[in-house]
């Protein structure tokens, strides 16, 4: 019972923070489950996928009412993200656990450094390869008349981006949102409220696909997942309330710090388990 209560409390906090900054919280949950609750990495990933679903559903209901979701962007990303999620889930069954943990730590750490460095830049220069690609022939303008917003997208680049984030989602059980949200803002220049809402909407189908794949592989333990699913639902409501009150200052800095902490926690786990045989 004590373990379930702790899982619930941790789940609420992780979900609230993840909803607040727009990527669900799976990137923080997986290393916490591995280190502090001794979940096998495969079960931790399956449990994280289950927990992300109710949080994404609740957040998307609110965002739908406020017309913050870009369904064109979602339709370009989601089919390829689903394919990538299935691919990533099957890679879990064939990749060594140590290699998976090292890749996870490297991946989130690099992303965290990128967010911190980009936050420190006063201005984003309109140049470079991604800027030029985003203006190739397959680019188009998206307008949100309700919010009085407009931004340019490249369909091919957005779809490829969906495949990459979906593979990461299935492999590491993190929903892909921790990549989708910052890159939609940084690469495609999508307004932050649209990027956050669209990423959380995408998380619904991504998590459903991930749950199905991991269940088929035997990585879903419903007894362990149930308190996390309830906690993430509560945390999504809490995070939504905090976001409406603008309680989070410098979200890009917070995302970067959180990702670095997640990467560091996995590195510590690797040294404890493999170097010292604890």
Q: Give pLDDT tens digits for 222-241.
A: 988 999 999 999 999 998 88
Q: Of 115-124, 213-222, 247-256, 263-272, which range is least confident?
A: 115-124
Q: Of 21-25, 172-176, 266-270, which range is least confident?
A: 172-176
For residues 258 and 254, give the distance between their C-alpha atoms in angstroms, rounded to a whole number: 6
Number of domains in the chain: 1
Alpha carbon of residue 170 to chain centroid = 11
Quick one: pLDDT band at residue 248, thresholds 50, 70, 90? low
Q: Length of the chain in residues, anyone?
A: 278
- 245 or 15, which is more confident: 15
pLDDT digits (tens, 9 = 90+) for 197-220: 998 898 888 788 788 888 988 989
Q: What are phi and psi of 39, to 5 degrees?
A: -75, 140
In 3D, which of 221, 219, 173, 228 has the Cα closest to residue 4? 228
pLDDT digits (tens, 9 = 90+) for 123-149: 445 555 555 655 666 678 888 888 888
In 3D, which of 170, 168, 142 has the Cα closest to residue 154? 142
Domain of 83, in residue numbers: 2-275
For residues 183 and 161, give the distance between their C-alpha atoms in angstroms, rounded to a whole number: 9
pLDDT at 266 over 80: no
pLDDT at 10 over 50: yes
For residues 258 and 87, give the distance between their C-alpha atoms in angstroms, rounded to a whole number: 26
pLDDT at 122 over 50: no
Q: Of 105-109, 210-214, 243-247, which range is least confident?
A: 243-247
């Amino acid at each position: 019972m004590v373990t379930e209560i702790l899982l619930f409390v941790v789940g609420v906090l992780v979900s609230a923070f993840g909803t607040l900054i727009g990527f669900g919280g799976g990137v923080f949950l997986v290393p916490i489950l591995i280190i502090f609750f001794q979940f096998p990495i495969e079960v931790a990933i399956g449990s994280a996928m289950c927990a992300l679903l109710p949080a994404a559903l609740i957040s998307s209901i609110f965002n739908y009412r406020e017309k913050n979701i870009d369904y064109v962007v979602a339709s370009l990303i989601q089919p390829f993200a689903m394919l990538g999620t299935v691919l990533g889930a099957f890679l879990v069954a064939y990749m060594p656990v140590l290699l998976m943990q090292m890749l996870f730590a490297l991946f989130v750490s690099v992303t965290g450094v990128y967010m911190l460095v980009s936050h420190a830049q006063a201005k984003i220069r309109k140049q470079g390869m991604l800027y030029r690609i985003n203006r190739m022939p397959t680019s188009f303008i998206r307008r949100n008349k309700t919010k009085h917003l407009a931004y340019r997208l490249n369909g091919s680049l957005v779809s490829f981006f969906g495949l990459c984030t979906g593979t990461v989602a299935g492999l590491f059980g993190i929903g892909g949102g921790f990549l989708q949200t910052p890159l939609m803002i940084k690469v495609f220049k999508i307004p932050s409220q649209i990027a956050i809402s669209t990423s959380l909407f995408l998380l619904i189908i991504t998590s459903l696909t991930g749950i199905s794949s991991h269940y088929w592989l035997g990585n879903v333990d419903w007894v362990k997942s149930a308190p996390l699913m309830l906690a993430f639902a509560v945390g999504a409501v809490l995070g939504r309330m905090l976001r409406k009150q603008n309680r989070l200052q410098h979200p890009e800095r917070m995302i970067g710090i959180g990702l670095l902490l997640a990467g560091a926690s996995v590195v510590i786990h690797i040294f404890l388990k493999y170097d010292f045989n604890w």
